[in-house]
Structure 1
Amino acid sequence: MRIATYNVEWFNTLFDDAGALHNSDEWSGRWNVTRAQQTAALGLVFQAMDADGIMIIEAPDSSRNRDGVTALETFAAHFGLRARKAVIGFTNDTQQEIAFLYDPDVITAVHNPIGDLDVESPAPRFDAELRVDLDSDAALDVVRWSKPPLEIAAKVGEKAFRFIGVHAKSKAPHGARNDAEAARISIQNRRKQLAQCIWLRQRVNQHLDAGDDLIVMGDFNDGPGLDEFEKLFGHSSIEIVLGEENAAPLYDPHAALVLGRRIGVAPATSRFKQRNGTYLNALLDYVMVSPNLRKMDPNWQIWHPFDHPACYDNLPLREALLAASDHFPVTLDLTL
């Protein structure tokens, strides 16, 4: 079984309100990439992955006038993908949903959120609120997910899995007018992100206590050693979700590599163009597995066009990966 996570930048702009592909020469949300070029690039990448299930981060919008499921299933039909059925969980107002696109001949999958709406719970349902003191002022703050995680109950044959798709809060100081304001917003955003990941880890604990085979995947907008604010808080949100101290661990080899090294060459799942024209690589996307799944000879792969020889040597795939998104897919192969 191959499971993937893929953050597709501006996927929503490739579809009209009826869920049909624009597939035009107008500009997409990607810099210097048309809608037709991004669509073709994504089709090639999805075909090359040939995954049984893909957790899509920044999936097309679902709202009163748009249907992300229709859009994704239209995209899958256009490119003849095996993964042709889509499910979206709690929708949001950011035009960036979390969706699971899967092969119904291999996987059965339903949105199956757990938890309740009780704000006093350590792990309320992900579309609810969490009350927590973020800044030690003895006052409870309200934490919400702008993009509530997608909880999937899945089966492959008779084997049951739980998948959680995540798009954690960005730490970027959007709207800052000076350095002091940027620092304040960055610290505030990191507090909220850490709270989200504590909330997520509580859900992980529930699944591990129940003996579930669990995969947590998506874009966490964080990683060990990514910024100076990590020193202020002592750890990254990734470390919280993976499990600290005596917690039952989740595992992702790319996170483990960075956590064990802290310096030197690190894997990357995203590539962003900076204002000076150079590119910044970062490890933001993860596929974390529970202990039982780690025993099943899993194989992870980041489809980075400059870090993976098979992606680099395949020129059409290399160019497609660069045109399709500012993130690259991460796949997990499991022998069942």
Structure 2
Amino acid sequence: MRLATYNIEWFTNLFDDNNRLLRDGEWSARHNVTRAEQADALGVVFHALDADAILIIEAPDSNGKRQTVPALEDFAESFGLRARRAVMGFMNETQQEIALLYDPDHMQARHAPMAGTGTVPRFDGTFEIDLDIDATRDQVRFSKPPLELDIETATGVSFSLIGAHLKSKAPHGARNKAHAMKLAIANRRKQLAQAIWLRARVDQHLAQARPLMLMGDLNDGPGLDEFEGLFGRSSVEIILDGEAGALFDPHARRALTSRLGAAPTSARFWIKPEKRYLQAMLDYIMVTPDLQQRGASWRIWHPLDDPACWANTTLRDALVTASDHFPVSIDLDI
């Protein structure tokens, strides 16, 4: 069975207010890419993935007019995907929902938020933590509450899945360099608080001995920026390791053990002032040991780094056109 995580840049702009896919010549939110070009490129990518379930980060918006689930199911029908059923959790106000498209013939998935216990609230609640060591507890909320699912495969294997999109560290709205630094540090504190909250939930699952998969865009990684020296650890490191045991993701472990060497990447962004691309490892699939032992095999569908993607020119071009992130998948015997 194959599961994947995929951050699709401004996927919501490809749908109208009736949750129907727009495949026309109007511009998408991606630079110099029409809605038809982006939609068709996504169709190519999803068919190549041929996944039993795809966690979609930045899924179509849910609000008073639009709905994520019908939009995703219309997308699946438009391209004849077998992953044709959609499920989501708590709505957010960012136009970037978190949802799962899955094949109902091979699995069932239901929203199953863990009830708040003690100091670990539900993901649509408020987490209290002292962010700046001033003896005052700060209140932290998720702008994009993680998606918690109970999964059962057609073969009877059950596990929990958490889909997450952590807050970006980018200092959006900065007035000058000093303000940018202040915002960046504040954003980093909030992001680390979200990671601590996520790790506390992981510990709860491990305490129950329930298999767990945590996937999504963590907007962070070991050695990714200068703030790691200030705060000690990245969000990825916090989520991977805790008192109740460790999760495993080979790309994260590789980055942790070889910070000066070549590292895998899952996203590619154009840096306009520098006239170059920045590549980063932002998208992860972390699993508990019981899932890792089921023949787990990971893959980053990077059009320039994965030989099979590079050799398939149609897929290679589609991956570049579809989004600024590339899918990450895991194959398991479940």
CA contact under 8 A between 1:176 and 1:185: conserved in structure 2? yes
**Alpha-carbon distance in structure 2 between the residues aligned to 1:313 and 1:149:** 35
Q: Secondary structure at the match of 1:39?
A: helix
State the partner residue of 1:196.
194
Residue 72 of structure 2 corresponds to which residue in structure 1? 72
Name the residue aligned to 2:249.
252
Structure 2: unaligned runs, 5 residues or longer: none
Residue 59 of structure 1 corresponds to 59
CA deviation map 1:130-180 (0-9, x unaligned): 111111111111100000000000100311010000000100011111111
Which residue of the partner structure matches residue 4 of structure 2? Answer: 4
Q: Matched residue of 2:246: which SS?
A: coil
Question: Does the CA contact (< 8 Å) of 1:122 and 1:199 recur in 2?
Answer: no
3-state SS of paired residue (1:224) = coil
Question: Alpha-carbon deviation of 1:181?
Answer: 1.0
Q: Which amino acid aligns with 2:150?
A: A
1:8-52 C-alpha deviation (Å, 9 max, x unpaired):
001000000111111110100101100000000000000000000
Q: What residue number does 2:114 align with?
A: 114
Matches of residues 108-257 of structure 1 in structure 2 within 5 Å?
108-116=108-116, 121-157=118-154, 158-244=156-242, 246-257=243-254
Q: State the SS of the aligned residue for 2:245.
A: coil
The corresponding residue for 1:297 is 295
TM-score by length of 1: 0.97
Contact 2:206 2:244 in 1 (8 A): no
Contact 1:107–1:155 (CA<8 Å) still a contact in 2?
A: yes
Distance across 1 between alignment mates of 2:29 and 2:163:
23
> Is the Cα–Cα contact under 8 Å of residues 97 and 144 in structure 2 kept in the other structure?
yes
The answer to which of 133-142 and 215-224 deviates more is 133-142
Rounded to whole Å, the distance in 2 between the matches of 1:273 and 1:250 is: 32
Provide the rounded CA distance (Å) in 1 between the counterparts of 2:62 and 2:40. Answer: 22
- Code of the residue aligned with 2:277 in structure 1: it is Y
Distance 1:141 1:107 in 2: 40
Corresponding residue for 2:321?
A: 323
* Structure 2 length-normalised TM: 0.98
**Cα shift readout 1:47-106 (whole Å, capped 9, x = no counterpart):** 000000000000000111001101000000010001000001000011100000000000
How far the C-alpha of 1:2 sits from its partner, in A, is 0.2
> Does the CA-based 8 Å contact 2:216-2:285 persist in structure 1?
yes
Q: 1:226, 1:103 → 2: CA distance?
A: 35
CA distance in 1, matches of 2:28, 2:210: 40
Contact 2:207 2:244 (8 Å CA) reproduced = no
Residues in 1 aligned to 2:190 and 2:289: alpha-carbon distance in whole angstroms: 28
In 2, Cα distance between equivalents of 1:24 and 1:106: 33
Residue 264 (str. 1) matches residue 261 (str. 2): yes
Q: Which range moves more in the overlay, 235-244 or 146-155?
A: 235-244
Moved over 4 A (4+): none
Distance 2:316 2:97 in 1: 26
Deviation at 1:277, TM superposition (A): 2.3
- CA RMSD of superposed structures (Å): 0.9
- Stretches of structure 1 that go unaligned for 5 or more consecutive residues are none
Residues 24-63 of structure 1: pairs in structure 2 closer than 5 A: 24-63=24-63
What secondary structure sits across from 2:222 in the alignment? coil
Q: CA deviation at 1:247?
A: 3.9
CA distance in 2, matches of 1:155, 1:213: 11
**CA distance in structure 2 between the partners assigned to 1:332 and 1:185 by the alignment:** 35
SS at match of 1:307: coil
Structure-2 separation of matches of 1:74 and 1:21: 7
Contact 1:154 1:160 in 2 (8 A): yes
* CA–CA distance in structure 2, aligned partners of residues 257 and 295 of structure 1: 19
Give me the whole-angstrom Cα distance separating, in 2, the residues matched to 1:247 and 1:206: 8
Question: What percentage of aligned pairs have identical amino acids?
Answer: 58
Q: Tell me the residue number matched to 2:14.
A: 14
